[in-house]
Amino acid sequence: MNSSTAQANVLVDELVRGGVREAVLCPGSRNAPLSYALHSADQQGRLRLHVRIDERSAGFLALGLARASGAPVAVATTSGTAVANLHPAVLEASYSRVPLVVLSADRPPELIGTGANQTVLQHGLFGAAVRLNVTLNPAEQPPWPHQRWRATVCRVLAAATGARDANPGPVQLNVALREPLVPDLHASAEGIGGRADGGPWSRVVPAAVDAPVELDLAVPTLVVAGDGALAHPQLAGVPTVAEPSAPAPAIPVHPLALGDRRPEQVVVTGRPTLHRAVQQLFAADEVAVHVLTDGPVWTDVAATVRSVGTRVVTRGAVAPQWLEDWRVASARARKRVDVVLAGSPPTGLHVARAVADSLAEGDLLVLGSSNPVRDASYAGLPRTGVRVLANRGVAGIDGTVSTAHGAALAHGGRTVALMGDLTFLHDSGGLLAGPQEAHPNLTIVVANDDGGGIFGLLEQGAPEHSAAFERVFGTAHGTDLGALCAAHGVPHRLVDVASLASRLAEPSHGVRVLEVRTERTRLRELHAALRGH
Ligand SMILES: Cc1ncc(C[n+]2csc(CCOP(=O)(O)OP(=O)(O)O)c2C)c(N)n1
Ligand SMILES: [Mg+2]
């Protein structure tokens, strides 16, 4: 067996032993040994291989698979810019703590800096975004140092899954491979096998962090649950404003009700990113802010946090009047949404409400950044029985179609993705998947307001800045989404808000796109009305 084949086979075998069940591959020559090894593992049913042409899509596909499954997912590329194209997905995985394993094929070390073709400095390319960054150089001749290769994979997977520090995230295993890059078909694999029990070379027992914070619930308390929030049963009886990708709370507070009452203490779980009213709460001096997270970094944008732990130990009881006040305020906010929407032409918020209402128990929803994730929170998500995922780590509008594909493939059941038109177009390459690939049950709903609707809601959307607005923020494009889908062989349908629910209820297989044309010119007024102004 030649050096590159031995190395690639051992690495893939050890990844499988360490719990990798899905891998994404982009075609290339330098990574050919990894391609053969991954293909063979797929054929043997040891993992499922997905092949994608564009590394940006591949990175986000792997991210979606890992985010939805919670297990590490590998993405293998050739050398050069191919690796750099993974950077956006690596950043998102880093900030949202998703175990993404980059397998970047590299040239042998003596060729770095010589002007060799398709050769860049790949070691450390992702900087601080990866939890671990290892380069394995090729071995020259047998006996192959397969123990070292296997032990390295175990270290890499421990870092990706956060087994030692409860901080999962992306890792880069940069694999320098020497020619020949194709297998010698008759060589024996003797002497490079893994542990006889089929397990990993080094079993890394996951370490848990436990740091209780004391909390008196008799004090008027609000829980703010952001992306990545864990379930905290001790807080189940406390009113909770939850972002769509947080667990569904038992006592939900509508985000538009936040101005109605001022808590004396706030418990933050996960990372809230959506609502200004929440940020204002954190900034208020008289509110005591406590954060719960099992990660090494906690959210404290306003520099007001008083304590940080992983869970609470409570005393005292929540006052019934406090619960009733929030119940009334939330009911009023929901009513206001209904009234305001009834009097408005279709917007992304109408679409989000139709999507939210039509989701059934067991569905997975993937939300795009920008307005859709905010609209979903106004439309009543999260909700029990429906899992919601969103790339809130760095809230990019990129990679969303691919993330949704990955999440849907891991989920197995029905998945709906809701995103804006720019978000869809940014990653329309995510529709590119060959006939031999697994195609998930995924309906992508595009709220198409022909541009970036969110900017109309920000400072730059104020009337005094209107002269430059359309060209540099609105960015209308007039793209024919139907034609784009047709080019990829993906069914597309233009539907109106009123019929969206029935379209979503139709039994559907594979990937399809439902486009709803929406209005963005009057979003500013609509949101002012939602806030009761
Ligand atoms: C990769 C990336 N580029 C740019 C942005 C800035 N950005 C935030 S929202 C947005 C517009 C999104 O438009 P669309 O997806 O149509 O949603 P809408 O606001 O219209 O609801 C842009 C460009 C971003 N978040 N991520
Ligand atoms: Mg838009």
Residue 423's pLDDT band (cuts 50, 70, 90): very high
Q: Report the nearest-CA residue for atom 8 of ligand 1.
A: 370
Residue pLDDT, tens place only, 470-499: 999 999 999 999 999 999 999 999 999 999
- Joined together, the tokens standing for residue 378 give 């106004």
pLDDT score at 518:
98
Share of the chain above pLDDT 90, in %: 94
Q: Pocket of ligand 1, candidates 273, 392, 397: which has the most ligand atoms within 8 Å of its Cβ, to mutate?
A: 397
pLDDT at 190: 81
Cβ-proximal residues to 72 (8 Å cutoff; 6+ apart), any chain: 15, 18, 19, 20, 66, 99, 100, 101, 157, 160, 161
Q: Is the distance from the beta carbon of residue 420 to the nearest atom of ligand 1 less than 6 Å?
A: yes
Q: Which of 165, 3, 11 is nearest to 76 (CA)?
A: 11
Q: Is 449 in the pocket of ligand 1 (CB under 6 A)?
A: yes
Residue 452 contacts residue 513 (beta carbons within 8 Å): no
The ligand with the least distance to the CA atom of 422 is: 1
Torsion of CA 102, 91, 379, 531, to 10 degrees: 180
Specify the pLDDT at position 191. 86
**Quick one: which atom of ligand 1 is closest to the CA of 447?**
21
Say if ligand 1 is within 6 A of residue 422 CB. Answer: yes
pTM for this prediction: 0.98
Pocket residue to mutate for ligand 1, from 423, 424, 460, most atoms within 8 A of Cβ? 423
Tell whether ligand 1 has an atom less than 6 A from the beta carbon of residue 453: yes
**Could you tell me where the DSSP H helices lie in 298-417?**
320-342, 348-358, 371-378, 400-411
Model pLDDT for residues 509-523, shown as the tens digit of each residue = 999 999 999 999 999
Cα 451 to middle of ligand 2, angstroms: 4
Residue 92 CB less than 6 A away from ligand 1: no
Q: What percent of the chain has pLDDT over 70?
A: 100
Using the mean position of ligand 2's atoms as its centre, give its distance from the Cα of residue 384 in Å.
Answer: 28
Q: Is 168 in the pocket of ligand 1 (CB under 6 A)?
A: no
Does 371 sit in the ligand 1 pocket, CB within 6 Å?
yes
Mutate to test the pocket of ligand 1, among 369, 419, 425 (most ligand atoms within 8 A of CB): 369
Q: How far is the CA of 399 from the centre of ligand 1 (A)?
A: 12
d(CA 370, ligand 2 centre) in Å: 8
What would the two tokens of residue 429 be?
């390459």
Ligand sitting nearest the alpha carbon of 352? 1
Ligand 1 in contact with 474 (CB < 6 A)?
no
By alpha-carbon position, which residue is closest to atom 25 of ligand 1? 396
Ligand 1 closest atom vs CA 368: 15
Summary mean pLDDT of the chain: 96
Termini Cα distance of the chain: 73
Q: Is the CB of residue 518 below 6 angstroms from any atom belonging to ligand 1?
A: no
> Helix-strand-coil percent breakdown of the chain, rounded to 5?
40, 20, 45
pLDDT digits (tens, 9 = 90+) for 286-334: 999 999 999 899 999 999 999 999 999 999 999 999 999 999 999 999 9
Res 39: pLDDT: 98
Residue recorded with tokens 């009337």: 463
**What was the pLDDT predicted at 261?**
87
Distance 396 CA to ligand 1 centre (A): 7
Nearest atom of ligand 1 to the alpha carbon of 423: 15
Cα distance between residue 45 and residue 181, in whole Å? 24
Alpha-carbon distance of 334 to 532, in angstroms, equals: 12
- Shortest-distance ligand to the CA of residue 396: 1
- Nearest CA-CA partner of 215 in 315, 128, 292: 315
What would the mean pLDDT of 398-420 be, rounded to a whole number?
Answer: 97
Q: Indicate which residue's Cα is closest to atom 11 of ligand 1.
A: 452
Is 454 close to ligand 1, i.e. is its CB under 6 Å away?
Answer: yes
Q: Residue 241 and residue 230: Cα distance in Å, rounded?
A: 14
Distance 332 CA to ligand 2 centre (A): 28
